[in-house]
Amino acid sequence: MTISALLPPIPPTGLARGQTFRLDDGAGRPPRILMIEDDHTIATMYRCQLQADGFEVRLATDGAYGLHLAQADPPDLVLLDVRISKLDGIEVLKTMRTDPRLVAPPVLILSNYSNGAMVREGLALGAREYLVKSQTTHSELAEKIRSHLPHPAESCSGSGGTRLRWRRRAFSRRRQPVQG
């Protein structure tokens, strides 16, 4: 057996060659993303790519159901469309920011609508980023998600008091761990 067979695979997007990131909460679970998106095709496309990048993705097709999922089991991060049925994204964000269980998870708005007033309102309500779907690649989205989760060597309380830590391992060209 070669050493490369013993090493974990490198995720497909968002990382420099030779680096892997892994979320460790003691049980080895991946970061949990709640995507609230009403367009089935877009939701499926992002979900498949994010799962391939190592994220666990739950999907809600309307704002009311998304809010219900978030309250039932708070995610590590929320991807939120603005124009969704039953309860629009801005109302979902307002409700999340008044619920003590949902104040902590970062929210990234991912929408096709990019008028200035909507962007300012979303950011003023606490969204960390306002991303336009047509201007955001899968790898950029994965990198934005990673940047809003706990950073390497930083520890914080996650949902339910779980301790989350990022681990970073770098490998040389010969797949040997780099010291330091």
Neighbours of 126 (CB within 10 A): 13
**What average pLDDT score do residues 34-60 get?**
92
Q: What is the pTM of this model?
A: 0.69
Domains belonging to the chain, first-starting first, are: 27-170 (3.40.50.2300)
Rounded-to-integer distance, Cα 117 and Cα 59, Å: 27
Nearest to 108 by CA among 150, 73, 142: 142
**What average pLDDT score do residues 24-48 get?**
83
- Whether residue 165 contacts residue 149, with contact meaning beta carbons closer than 8 Å, is answered with no
Q: The tokens 């219900």 sit on which residue?
A: 68
Residue 126 has pLDDT above 80, yes or no: yes
Residue 65: alpha-carbon gap to chain centroid = 18
Q: Is the dihedral of CA 18, 23, 28, 29 positive or negative?
A: negative
**What average pLDDT score do residues 143-166 get?**
56
Rounded-to-integer distance, Cα 13 and Cα 51, Å: 11
As a whole-number percent, the residues of the chain with pLDDT over 70 amount to 67
Average pLDDT score over the chain: 76
- Whether residue 93 contacts residue 126, with contact meaning beta carbons closer than 8 Å, is answered with yes
What band does 150 get if pLDDT is binned at 50, 70 and 90?
Answer: low
DSSP alpha helices (H): ranges in 53-161? Answer: 63-72, 89-98, 116-124, 138-148
What confidence score (pLDDT) does residue 179 get?
A: 52
Residue 64 has pLDDT above 70, yes or no: yes
- Whether residue 109 contacts residue 127, with contact meaning beta carbons closer than 8 Å, is answered with yes
